[in-house]
A and B are shown apart, each in its own frame.
Chain A
Amino acid sequence: MSQPRADVSRRDVLKIFGAAGIAGATTGLAGGQARAADKLVVGVIYVGPRDDYGYNQAQAQAAAAIKAMPGVTVVEQEKVPETNDVQKTMGSMIEQDGATLLFPTSFGYFDPHILRMAEKYPKVRFAHCGGLWTEGKHPKNVGSYFGYIDECQYLDGVVAGHASKSKKLGFIAAKPIPQVLRNINAFTLGARSVDPKITTSLIVTGDWALPVKEAEAANSLIDQGVDILTCHVDSPKVVVETAERRNIYVCGYHANQATLAPKGYLTGAEWNWLTPYTMHVKDAQASKPLVNFLRGGLKDGFVKPSAYGKAVPEPARKRADAVKAQMMKGEFIIFKGPLKDNTGKTVIDTGVAQKQTDVVLEQMSYLVEGVIGKV
């Protein structure tokens, strides 16, 4: 009695799987299109959603722009964790989509995931955002690109220094790591170049995407009298929206968040990843070797400030534009002695100037004078 029923369901299942198999075989041919010799297939991998108003969106904007380049096909995958999953995603892009240039964008993808896949696929180019590629230690088909966004943070600070009435600024940071500390310090130095009485109150949330903690931190800073906020978290959306709701000013980060705070958005520090993306794509198309270490600031077009908001006063625009002009000429140095940290210790001696390319800056472990908080 049981036999007929079981048979029917098994046959059904077989039929469906069979059909899927045939369909799979046919689109297998269609899928081959991506491998056409004259097309460069570029794979882009994001750790979060592409529309996060932050880190991932900044990368996705560049990916969208290179789609328009002739002879380029882009395949994208979002919300890929920094585990074995990302290795399999890179492998899928290479094996199934025919990708030969990959942009795995999250910092945590580099070691061990990209390094392992680069060894396995020596002919594929891996361009990673922020990773420290080291000559002799890391494979030649891996490159890292990054921007000196502390320049834009300094400009944010200059604008904030003019716009603040309470002289109290707030910074919400994910983790006390060198990259983040450099932004906090540059922002504070910018503000204190306008008025040395200004302080920056720092709250560290502990991770890259903790929307609830970010909102709590924003509210708590505003309650303490902070009247301008900025942040370094993956998505500044929550911080920017909270600032707007509480009627204070805010500086954005990663991408442009002006639409989220039409009243209070002053300016922001944005990535312009299209510059390194275009370089890597063109090199791949011309079969030129991969540039392993790609860095740039404002003058190289790797970063850009957001357009000034309505609330930015005229003197702020003037001063920030003047500093920006110096940066564009490569004459402005943010970290130079004498510089003290917030415990009173001298961290850069008088007469010492650390240029953007100085690797000492990539190991920053202090908060400058004027920052209220601890590493």
Chain B
Amino acid sequence: MQRLARAGEAVAIPLGAMVAALVVFGLFMAALGHNPLEVYALIYRGAFASAFSWQNTLARAAPLVLTALCVAIPARVGLMIIGGEGALVLGGLAAAVIGHQLAGAAPLAVKLAMAAGAMLMGAAWIALAGALRHYRGVNETIASLLLTYIAIALFNHLVEGPLRDPASLNKPSTAPIAEASMLGRLPGLDVHWGLGLGVVLCLVLYVFTGRTTYGFAMRIVGGNVRAARLAGLSVGTLILVACALGGAAAGLAGMVEVAAVHGSANASLIAGYGYAGIVIAFIARHHPLAIVPVALLVGGLGASGGMLQRRLDLPDATVLVLQGLAFMLILASETLYGRGRLGRARSATT
């Protein structure tokens, strides 16, 4: 019963916040002289009204699921990692190099090697931030952010220098990978396999962090490091593993961008997906399963934002207002948990 109530709360509160955000945005649009009902209709049409708009939403959500995991998993051991962008670009670069080097091999083997290389690269990069935290006491949030700048500088240097394909004149890129080694689309959908990989990884990491003793140990470290040490847990290893898992997810996101979209590594990879993942992880309260619907919501806002821009001739800034309102209200609504009638009833019984 309590469990049900808690689950109900977890759905009702963010949905309520979303509705409130839409109401406030409607008022804002009315103040600008637009009919709020028309605005809502466009938001719905842009993101969810047809098979095309659903695919638009899903495709936009795909990279965000993976980068959100890069924040959510280290959060289990109490680390606030915001450097997913760095792991993404270096993972993508590793995938592009491997994909080109193995040009002659069997396509499946190439894909697996690209994924493995990208995940290892991302894992090592974020584990570096974890190691700096654990062994040297460097704040992991700042360290991971600064590591991102280093990653991007390194990426640009390599793509525009030693790894540049001489044929890429005005858009410096690495040599392209073979068409056969590209990741295809999900069956029956115009959405690439990145979404499938993201959902599967969310499920796996949910089971791993929520349903295994190792995952439980991570949560103890996240709750109280001293207690974890007293209980005999190897805190350092747990921190490094959590960071590596998160980094691997972001690295895989980079591989997907290269192997499903760009076909090579170039500056278009630095698109801010790593940063977008931070917001998603926070709204999902670092729960791997909640990441999927939240990423869908963000993808949907992206899709309807385009619709609002095109039909009402609005600047992108107006769409950012809607996103900002939604995120603020969902985060603010966190204070409502356990405050309803249900919450009181629960505290009375315990």
Contacts and interface: CB of A to CB of B under 8 A. Distances in A.
B45 A28 contact: yes
B38 A88 contact: no
B282 interface: no
Contacts of A43: 310
Contact of A78 (B62, B263, B267, B315): B315
A178 B169 contact: yes
Contacts of B19: 12-13, 16
Contacts, number: 147
A23 B52 CA distance: 18
A84 B45 contact: no
A83 interface: yes
Given A2-B8, A92-B56, A363 B169 contact: yes
Contacts of B306: 77, 80, 88-89, 92
B313 A27 contact: no
Contacts of B12: 5-6, 9-10
Contacts of A49: 315-316
Interface string A96-134: 110000000001101110000000000000000010100
B27 interface: no
21 contacts: A5-B12, A6-B12, A13-B15, A21-B49, A23-B38, A23-B44, A24-B41, A31-B45, A76-B309, A81-B268, A84-B63, A85-B60, A85-B271, A85-B302, A88-B56, A96-B307, A107-B170, A107-B171, A108-B266, A177-B172, A206-B156
B170 A179 contact: yes
Interface of A: 1-2, 5-6, 9-10, 12-13, 16-17, 19-21, 23-24, 26-28, 31, 43, 49-50, 75-85, 87-89, 91-93, 95-97, 107-108, 110-112, 130, 132, 175-179, 206-207, 362-363
A268 to B, nearest CB: 22
B235 to A, nearest CB: 38
A27 B38 contact: yes
Q: Is the interface of A mostly helix, strand, loop or mixed?
A: helix
Contact of A23 (B40, B170, B260, B267): B40
A206 B160 CA distance: 10
Band of interface residues on B: 35 or more
Nearest to A16: B19
Interface in B176-233: 190, 192
B267 A75 contact: no
B244 interface: no
B140 interface: no
Contact of A81 (B15, B170, B271): B271
Given A88-B60, A108-B171, A130-B170, A6 B8 contact: yes
A1 B345 contact: yes
Contact of B261 (A75, A84, A97): A84
Contacts of B302: 85
Contacts of A31: 45, 311
Contacts of B160: 175-176
Given A96-B53, A177-B170, A78 B38 contact: no
A27 B342 CA distance: 40
A24 B43 CA distance: 9
A97 B310 CA distance: 8
Contacts of B171: 107-108, 110-111, 177
B1 interface: yes
Nearest to A113: B261
Contact of B40 (A13, A20, A206): A20
Contacts of A5: 8, 12, 340-342
A179 B171 CA distance: 10
Given A2-B8, A16-B19, A112-B262, 13 more contacts: A5-B8, A24-B45, A28-B49, A80-B306, A81-B268, A83-B273, A87-B59, A88-B59, A91-B52, A91-B190, A95-B52, A175-B172, A177-B169
Closest 6 CB pairs of A and B: A23-B41, A82-B268, A75-B310, A79-B316, A20-B44, A81-B271
B15 A76 contact: no
A1 B59 contact: no
Nearest to A178: B169
B272 A77 contact: no
A76 B311 CA distance: 8
